[in-house]
Structure 1
Amino acid sequence: MAEENKIPTEENATMLQAFEWYIPDDHTHWKRLARDIEKYRDIGITALWIPPPCKASSPSGNGYDIYDLWDLGEFDQKGSVPTKWGDKDDLVRLAHNAEKAGVLLYADAVLNHKAAADETERCRVAEVDPENRTRFISDEYEIDGWLGFTFSGRGDKYSSMKWHWEHFSGTDYNAENNKTAIYKILGDFKSWAQSVDNEKGNFDYLMFADIDHSHPDVKKDINDWGIWIAELLSLRGFRFDAVKHFSEEYLKEFITQLKTNVNEDFFFVGEFWKDSLSDMLGYLDRLDGHKFSLFDAPLVYNFSEASKTESFDLRAIFDGTLVQARPISAVTLVMNHDTQPHQALEAPIEGFFKPIAYGLILLRQEGYPCVFWGDLEGISGEYKEEPSCGGQLSDIILARKLYAYGEQDDYFDYPTCLGWVRRGAWDRLNGCAVIVSNAGPGEKRMFVGEEHKGEIWTDVLGWEQGEVHIGEDGNADFKCPATSMAIWVNKDAPGRDQFGKFKPGKGILQGVV
């Protein structure tokens, strides 16, 4: 086939989780992202996963303590007009800048629960065993639950629905006696959702006021919201929080509504956080036909274990992971806001291993990699941390953008040192050779192709000094430092002058102009 008739190779897709838990609650984060969107695009970020944009229970809430879906920082509710991240105008401006820069926007959708109700309401309940929510541990009785949501600051703008006890399936607090428990709300057609994870008997209930997605008014309001926010912000996808805790059947309906009314090619990824490949595959099978992805939790735990285990056998790093079993459905990651230090699902990864882990998700064919803001820009607040990878994570992302294309040849023949080669594509001729070691200095003889004979390759990170001369047979000996990595590319390859230009941490440290 003539080259002019070949399909151009698309640029590699890379997602940025554009927040971390401890970003200051100065209500200017949307401005930071809008200001820096082109900077991220230049290093190879093609999509931003933004935090929950809806009004939380307080001006400091990250949005997972969600109060009002329809308030994007527009109304004076729960102590402020803006959310922690900023006001609606700033969010719309971010969406505009992202679209202009060619960066896709994915919003974090928290559809499992609501928090910070405006009023208590009397309702019938029975307490259930926290370790087995299918087992009642009390008789039926009435409580005063925080279950009335009137949205007085917003009124009826965008949605006239007010939420009451019948729109929820459970709650965790009785205001009558200040008792905390898991209360199953009782009434006609009331039950826990059945299409949820079976941990703890039935894992429908997670926190706050648990939404009953079987109620027709609930379904209509959330479906309408999904279409509204997707069109308002020109969204190209959603990240769904806590999917193992709410109805799979309802999620299918929500997805169908978006594909039918907004965009058939919407991207959907769920947070099904469980170190169980079989459960993850079962979930994906049940959502078959909805083009759904999951974050690869088992891979994160493998990275954590590998970083803490001396001479861990790197050949097993992908064992039991989603990216190995079903790469088309895997969003790969190293850390997120839940697993970062001092969070509930903390999965510590030693600093030396971060570049190795990012190399394994960014420079290989399989999976859709998601970079964590805290690793790229640093972590703020009481638990402040500098950007990972010696401040050069951006260079690993850039190497993915420029060189990680084409066939992949693996050299997984030694327990503490792995190598692989990306052979390039017809219109992206400069591939790369990657080598990682979790022990002493690494070295592998790898084949990059006879078409590269006589070329001189160097490490784009600058961590391994020296040059490699590609032999007449297309082979060469590639090295990396101890407990580190190297990314070898032709020293004359286009784009080599772009490395080292990204300055991490500035999004927080320099404030917003």
Structure 2
Amino acid sequence: MKKFVALFITMFFVVSMAVVAQPASAAKYSELEEGGVIMQAFYWDVPGGGIWWDTIRSKIPEWYEAGISAIWIPPASKGMSGGYSMGYDPYDFFDLGEYNQKGTIETRFGSKQELINMINTAHAYGIKVIADIVINHRAGGDLEWNPFVGDYTWTDFSKVASGKYTANYLDFHPNEVKCCDEGTFGGFPDIAHEKSWDQHWLWASDESYAAYLRSIGVDAWRFDYVKGYGAWVVKDWLNWWGGWAVGEYWDTNVDALLNWAYSSGAKVFDFPLYYKMDEAFDNKNIPALVSALQNGQTVVSRDPFKAVTFVANHDTDIIWNKYLAYAFILTYEGQPVIFYRDYEEWLNKDRLNNLIWIHDHLAGGSTSIVYYDSDEMIFVRNGYGSKPGLITYINLGSSKVGRWVYVPKFAGACIHEYTGNLGGWVDKYVYSSGWVYLEAPAYDPANGQYGYSVWSYCGVG
């Protein structure tokens, strides 16, 4: 069955490559650092059988055409669960699907060569690859006597098939150095990052795990569960290897998130914004979102250059009114991530492509919120560089709405509605005083109605 599926994917990929000519480009390589849109290229329990790297590879041409600048891939190393593992239970960091251990040669996602082929294809399209880095813990070791706990623990990693980064109880907490670090996860052995042996094999040498990922083409890093170890680990990793990076610090304490971001040198997922969007768009409480933005209770409102924004991911998916949430993050400040299943399965792909285009061509500069109530929100992006700025009008109501708003940035200009949600080609002229009457459609995606409009200067693109 796997061979049949792999053959189908290969045929589809060849056809896709024929339809979408490979660009000569490294054009998108700069866009990740400049806030380009990221695709989370997996979800929890993606199909097994070793087809996922090929699946991602087959979609890259279309994602390139949509304007995606980078793909975030799942943890690539062999996990304790072998072919069933999603990679968050790392056993042998240096087995990317090439050694027969834990009941399989390939990982759940495929072979090392299929991984490399996928990365090479992404690079051919100027798309960067973000590796998911799981270094808080290890899993799947053998039992050994551990004098620091007075019992047997699953901390013997002397039998890893790669022969690299063997470990024992001294490489985990508690040990002779200290009892613990910032946190543990799932009862798995907690890696002692302060030990030089562990640093050497994880990042601090040319034979490290980081070096190995670099050697196959990984460009950037997403660090899992960074609450579990010191920010200095990520900082030192980036001092060694550089590259764009983001950490998963799952918390709503903005001060804690930003302290971690500044200490590590990485960006951070904006969990406070995520929960405020749920409150706003699912519970018709836009004032709560606006209050959070105006009072510095989100990462994006405190430091948008540190904020990676999202609507759903492989761990959490609580927002139901996703179109409005995507309209928000793809036109507001911060660096947005699109969830694979939203794009490929659950939402209208054309609508998301339109918002990606708007993000890439219009959404620049600082933000001013010019109107809000329980159902409506209107904000202006003031433009920066090649991106002229925009006006986003979000409507949670079941009826079309319109308002006079003061937008002096666009005074005297022709502005165009760039989503088509108002039923076709719509232009407006802003009075020289800065006032204009704007409209937003009703929100009812079941009937093809999307409760947002986006405006910018006529003739862009």
Output the amino acid matched with 2:282. K
The 3-state SS of whatever aligns with 2:83 is coil
Structure 1, unmatched stretches of 5+, are: 1-8, 127-141, 170-184, 197-202, 260-265, 341-347, 379-386, 495-513
After TM superposition, give the deviation of residue 433 of structure 1 in Å. Answer: 2.9
Is 2:308 aligned against 1:308?
no
After TM superposition, give the deviation of residue 302 of structure 1 in Å. Answer: 0.9
Counterpart CA distance in 2 for 1:307 and 1:458 is 22
The 8 Å contact of residues 393 and 453 in structure 2, kept in 1 or not, is answered as yes
The 8 Å contact of residues 423 and 449 in structure 1, kept in 2 or not, is answered as no
After TM superposition, give the deviation of residue 254 of structure 1 in Å. Answer: 2.2
The 8 Å contact of residues 369 and 378 in structure 2, kept in 1 or not, is answered as yes
Output the amino acid matched with 2:177. F
Look up the match of 2:167.
163
Look up the match of 2:441.
481
Q: Judge which range, 409-418 or 457-466, deviates more.
A: 457-466
Cα-to-partner distance string for 1:455-499 (whole Å, 9 max, x where unaligned): 6x34424355562332453653221123321223567543xxxxx
Cα-to-partner distance string for 1:55-85 (whole Å, 9 max, x where unaligned): 1122011100111110111111111111111
Output the amino acid matched with 1:308. D
Output the amino acid matched with 2:413. H
Q: Judge which range, 20-29 or 228-237, deviates more.
A: 228-237
Show the 5 A alignment for 1:149-188.
149-154=157-162, 156=163, 159=164, 161-169=165-173, 185=174, 187-188=175-176
Q: Judge which range, 95-104 or 474-483, deviates more.
A: 474-483
The 8 Å contact of residues 306 and 317 in structure 1, kept in 2 or not, is answered as no
Cα-to-partner distance string for 1:239-277 (whole Å, 9 max, x where unaligned): 100111123333332222223xxxxxx112111101211
Counterpart CA distance in 1 for 2:387 and 2:185 is 49
Counterpart CA distance in 2 for 1:437 and 1:317 is 19
C-alpha distance 75-305 of structure 1, shift in aligned 2 (>3 A)? same
Cα-to-partner distance string for 1:278-312 (whole Å, 9 max, x where unaligned): 22233234x1xx53111011111111222332454
Look up the match of 2:269.
295
Look up the match of 1:336.
313
C-alpha distance 211-298 of structure 1, shift in aligned 2 (>3 A)? same
Is 2:295 aligned against 1:327?
no
After TM superposition, give the deviation of residue 421 of structure 1 in Å. Answer: 3.5
Show the 5 A alignment for 1:347-386.
348-350=318-320, 353-364=321-332, 366-378=333-345
Q: Give the one of 102, 120, 124 matched to 1:96.
A: 120
Look up the match of 1:33.
56
Show the 5 A alignment for 1:79-478.
79-117=103-141, 119-126=142-149, 142-154=150-162, 156=163, 159=164, 161-169=165-173, 185=174, 187-193=175-181, 196=182, 203-204=183-184, 206-223=186-203, 224-259=207-242, 266-285=243-262, 287=263, 290-313=264-287, 314-316=289-291, 318=293, 320-340=297-317, 348-350=318-320, 353-364=321-332, 366-378=333-345, 387-388=346-347, 392-406=351-365, 408-422=367-381, 427=386, 431-439=389-397, 440-446=399-405, 447=407, 449-450=410-411, 452-453=413-414, 457-462=416-421, 464=423, 467-471=426-430, 473=432, 475-478=435-438
The 3-state SS of whatever aligns with 1:434 is strand
After TM superposition, give the deviation of residue 426 of structure 1 in Å. Answer: 6.3
The 3-state SS of whatever aligns with 1:82 is coil
Counterpart CA distance in 2 for 1:162 and 1:69 is 10
Output the amino acid matched with 1:480. A
C-alpha distance 254-490 of structure 1, shift in aligned 2 (>3 A)? closer
Counterpart CA distance in 2 for 1:358 and 1:191 is 43
Output the amino acid matched with 1:355. Y
* Identity value in percent: 25
Counterpart CA distance in 2 for 1:92 and 1:83 is 14
Output the amino acid matched with 1:106. I
C-alpha distance 310-422 of structure 1, shift in aligned 2 (>3 A)? closer
After TM superposition, give the deviation of residue 374 of structure 1 in Å. Answer: 2.1
Q: TM-score, normalised by structure 2?
A: 0.81
Q: Which has the higher contact order (CA 8 A, sep 6+)?
A: 1
Counterpart CA distance in 2 for 1:311 and 1:299 is 13
C-alpha distance 44-66 of structure 1, shift in aligned 2 (>3 A)? same
Look up the match of 2:4.
none
Counterpart CA distance in 2 for 1:390 and 1:212 is 44
The 3-state SS of whatever aligns with 1:78 is coil
Counterpart CA distance in 1 for 2:285 and 2:276 is 14
Q: TM-score, normalised by structure 1?
A: 0.74
Counterpart CA distance in 2 for 1:368 and 1:426 is 17
The 8 Å contact of residues 376 and 391 in structure 1, kept in 2 or not, is answered as no
